[in-house]
């Protein structure tokens, strides 16, 4: 059975990842998720995406250590050596995460349970993370088996929680509860137990109702702000602002507000 199912709820797409019995991510998950993201990015009727886990208490447990162990065996048998001063190209998983980060549509993680390693890195690739209350953990424990987070974890976690806290968590392999994740800024909202998907859909529908072009531009600008020099970011902001000012949608919305003397929150 396929691991990745996609359903539509009006202008919101729900992507459910299910890989029983344990809910690992593996080499079968990646191409299916990639195909789903490619399709949803191109579908103009989809204005927001929600990603959740299909097993009770599991978002994505982590990447399959059985697969990683088999890869390690092959590399060692081949006598593979790595020049750590060179840089490896993107893998399929990296491209999937990058598509989630760059598509002009909000991507929301509805975290309904365990999310460690690759599952946590998938969370970090989403724009917004909503976790439900519960007795489960999330984080990057890779050091426990002698490796490091290899799909963006070391880079993205520090941008959320700061360098010192990211070092503390990854060097210890320490995972956190949903409540601590909220306190640290890893997740943006806590939902009641069993309510992550409902809360994520509520937010996704609110975002999907906003003007699509402005939404895509805002995501692009905010996403780039952590890496773009301020002057360059401000210049792009001015440019995209002026482009939106020329659109029929913005013109009509501002005209309605002015003609009816509305507060902006009434639109």
Give the chain as a DSSP string. Answer: --SEEEEEETTEEEEEE--TTTT-B-TTHHHHHHHHHHHHHH-TT--EEEEEESBTEEEE--B-HHHHHHHHHHHHHTT----TTS-PPP-HHHHHHHHHHHSSS-EEEEE-EEEETHHHHHHHHSSEEEEE-SS--EE--GGGGT---TTTHHHHHHHHH-HHHHHHHHHHT-EE-HHHHHHHTSSSEEE-TT-HHHHHHHHHHHHHTS-HHHHHHHHHHHHHTTTS-HHHHHHHHHHHHHHHHTSHHHHHHHHHHHHTT--GGG-
Catalytic residues: 121, 142
């Amino acid at each position: 059975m396929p691991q990745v199912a996609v359903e539509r709820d009006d202008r919101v797409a729900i992507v459910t990842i299910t890989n029983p019995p344990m809910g690992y991510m593996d080499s079968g998950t990646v191409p299916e998720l990639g195909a789903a993201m490619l399709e949803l990015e191109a579908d103009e009727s989809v204005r927001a995406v929600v990603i959740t886990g299909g097993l009770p208490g599991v978002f994505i447990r982590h990447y399959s250590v059985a697969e990683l162990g088999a890869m390690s065996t092959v590399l060692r048998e081949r006598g593979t050596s790595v020049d750590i001063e060179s840089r490896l190209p993107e893998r399929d998983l990296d491209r999937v995460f990058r598509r989630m980060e760059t598509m002009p549509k909000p991507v929301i993680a509805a975290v309904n349970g365990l999310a460690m390693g690759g599952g946590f890195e998938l969370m970090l690739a989403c724009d917004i993370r909503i976790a439900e209350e519960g007795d489960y953990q999330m984080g990057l424990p890779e050091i426990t088996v002698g490796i490091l987070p290899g799909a963006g974890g070391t880079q993205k976690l520090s941008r959320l929680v700061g360098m010192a806290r990211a070092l503390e968590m990854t060097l210890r392999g320490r995972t956190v509860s949903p409540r601590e994740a909220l306190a640290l800024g890893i997740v943006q909202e806590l939902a009641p137990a069993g309510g992550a998907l409902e809360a994520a859909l509520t937010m996704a529908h609110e975002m999907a109702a906003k003007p699509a072009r402005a939404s895509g531009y805002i995501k692009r600008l905010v996403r780039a702000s952590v890496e773009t020099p301020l002057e360059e970011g401000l210049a792009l902001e001015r440019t995209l602002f002026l482009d939106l000012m020329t659109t029929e949608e913005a013109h009509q919305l501002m005209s309605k507000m002015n003609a009816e003397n509305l507060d902006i929150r009434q639109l």
